[in-house]
Amino acid sequence: MWSYHNPVAIKFGLGSFDKIAGLVHTRPYLLVTYPDAPFTALADRLAQRLGPPAGAVRDVSPNPDMADVARQAAETAMLAQRPEVVIAIGGGSVIDSAKVLAASAQGFAPVEALLNGNAAPQGWRPLPLIAVPTTAGTGSEVTCWATVWDRKAGTKRSLDHPALYPEAAIIDPELMRSMPRDLTIATGLDALSHALESLWNVNANPVTASHAVAAARAILDVLPALVAAPGDADLRSRMAQASLAAGLAFSGTRTAIAHSISYPVTLRHGVQHGIACSFTLPMILDSLANTGGLTGRALRDIFGPDLRAGARRLAAFLDGLGIGLSPAAYGIDAAEWQSILTEATAGPRGRNFIAPITTLHPVSPLAA
């Protein structure tokens, strides 16, 4: 038996950002975004359609830290006008921060309870959220969780509750056309990881697998071409659609071993998330060369009948994008690598992986 549920209303297409008024109506809104000039311009476009916000959080930084979101929640609580909806314009860090702020509408205590793995207080009700992603990779616009980094404690924490699914997501590829090369690669690889992680997952089902296969095949085809032609509207649209499909896949399964490995790699070595969770993908695929069932069928739909050869082609794909394929490329020695693997397999995302794993070895790219 299996089930699938995703309640997010999705608007997709070039120019869809200009339809946001029909989703917000007359509700006072809290804007959450980055401080950079392109996002100031988007905030101005938003204000032209909706009027000024009740408040704005414009200082979101990559990989939001616990101390930052707590401070932002305290500042939001002091607003003269209470927002009735949160609008997030930006990448995964913005949407994750917006979920925290939506969850803290009645105080920060419910956020702390959820981050500690406890139930939310009786009567807790987060603000509705409208997510407008400006990258193709995070998937946070269609999930009910957010990543919060606790650098003081040296760990990653998850805010996770069904009430945190966004009310709606507006995916306008036009907003992604100015993404720089490195961000295009990192977010695209994050989406690829979401797709594959949802396949080698104990929670996989036919619906998530269908989304994942479509996403992975599209990303493998589109991402190199997009890196070569970043302003191409059609390629941006195809990449945005692939990222959305990956998000719909892992929204029903959560991630698995590659993400579990990535967290200490990011915390200890500063490796960007999309890279940290994707450089292990060929190793993991190679370890599943003899896998059957739904996972095996889906992986062969993507990589062909020989998954060992598929792992080498995947390694060549990553190598072509300039991604290091070994832990050593990120300053991780053999002893730390084994420690990371042991820690990762014991974590909740590691336990989603379909097979026991004791070690992973880099895979050589298949020669052209």
| Domain termination residue (choose one: 121, 151, 175) | 175
Token pair of 245, please?
């499909």
CA atoms within 13 A on the CB side of 217: 13
Query: Which residues pair with residue 56 across a beta bridge?
Result: 31
Residue 10's nearest CA partner among 283, 211, 257, 276 is 211
If one counts every other C-beta atom within 10 angstroms of the C-beta of residue 55, the result is 21
Query: Which residues pair with residue 155 across a beta bridge?
Result: 150
Query: Which residues pair with residue 12 across a beta bridge?
Result: 171
Same domain, residue pair 195 and 170: no
Whether 91 is in a domain gets the answer: yes
Whether 361 is in a domain gets the answer: no
Q: What is the pTM of this model?
A: 0.96
Beta strands 145-150 and 155-160, pairing class: antiparallel
Same domain, residue pair 93 and 242: no
> What would the 3-class secondary structure string for 136-152 be?
CCCCHHHCCEEEEEECC
CATH of residue 164's domain is: 3.40.50.1970
Whether 222 is in a domain gets the answer: yes
Same domain, residue pair 115 and 193: no
Question: Which residue do the tokens 């967290």 mark?
Answer: 263
| Sequence-distant (≥ 6) Cβ neighbours of residue 103 within 8 angstroms | 110, 111, 114, 126, 159, 161, 164
Token pair of 303, please?
């990589």
| Domain termination residue (choose one: 175, 197, 218) | 175
Rg over alpha carbons for the chain, rounded to the nearest Å, is: 20
Whether 136 is in a domain gets the answer: yes
Look at the chain and report how many structural domains it folds into. 2
Whether 344 is in a domain gets the answer: yes
Burial 174-185 (b: 16+ CB within 10 A, else e): bbbbebeeebbb
Taken as a whole, the chain contains a residue count of 368
Same domain, residue pair 116 and 191: no
CA 70 to chain centre: 21
Distances (CA, A) of 141 to 85, 92, 271, 350, 367: 15, 8, 23, 23, 37
Question: Which residue do the tokens 């080698």 mark?
Answer: 200
Whether 258 is in a domain gets the answer: yes
Same domain, residue pair 200 and 300: yes
Same domain, residue pair 13 and 140: yes
Helix (H, G, I), strand (E, B) or coil at 84: coil
What's the pLDDT at 61?
A: 86
Token pair of 29, please?
């809104």
Whether 360 is in a domain gets the answer: no
Same domain, residue pair 190 and 136: no
Classify residue 231 by burial, with Cβ atoms within 10 Å: 0-12, 13-18, 19+: exposed
| Domain termination residue (choose one: 149, 175, 201) | 175
In contact, 359 and 283? CB cutoff 8 Å = no
| Sequence-distant (≥ 6) Cβ neighbours of residue 283 within 8 angstroms | 311, 360, 361, 362, 363
Residue numbers of the domain that contains 56: 9-175
Consecutive sets of 10 residues in the chain, 368 residues long: mean pLDDT of each?
Answer: 96 96 97 95 96 96 91 96 98 97 94 92 95 96 94 88 97 95 97 98 98 98 97 97 98 97 95 97 97 98 98 98 98 97 93 93 86
CA 298 to chain centre: 21
Same domain, residue pair 200 and 330: yes
- What is the C-alpha separation between 211 and 46, in angstroms, rounded? 31
Same domain, residue pair 73 and 222: no
CA 238 to chain centre: 17
In contact, 342 and 305? CB cutoff 8 Å = no
